[in-house]
Copies of this chain bind each other. A is one copy, B any other.
Amino acid sequence: MLVLVTYDVSTMDSEGQRRLRNVSKICQNYGQRVQNSVFECIVDATQFAVLKMKLADEIDQNQDSLRFYQLGNNYKNKVEHIGVKGSLDLEGPLIL
């Protein structure tokens, strides 16, 4: 199934910037970045559970947030894109 993962990570300090990089890295192992803080992941129920657990462990739940949207298996006609493709990797060279 397609699961959409969106996140807000507070990057007010270096610890937040570290969390943001780690959240991004975890998501990259499960799916494709479609916008700066939006990943589309094709996962089964077990993978989804593990992904959620890893991300929940990584964020600071008092400052950051995660949202998961289950789009099911017939998702192709449920998703539309307008504008530029790809996404600037904000967690890339700018911070490292």
Q: A83 contacts B69, CB within 8 Å? A: no
- The CA-CA distance from A88 to B9 in the complex, in Å, is 11
Chain A residues within 8 Å of B, Cβ to Cβ: 4, 6-8, 10, 34-38, 52, 55-56, 59-72, 78-85, 87-88
Which residue of chain B has the shortest Cβ distance to A37 in the bound complex? B37
B6 and A38 contacting across the interface, CB-CB below 8 Å: yes
Nearest B residue to A6 via CB reads B38
Cβ A8 vs Cβ B64 within 8 A: no
Are A67 and B80 interface neighbours, CB within 8 A?
yes
A71 CA to B75 CA, complexed, in Å = 9
Residue pair A82, B59 in contact (C-beta under 8 Å):
yes
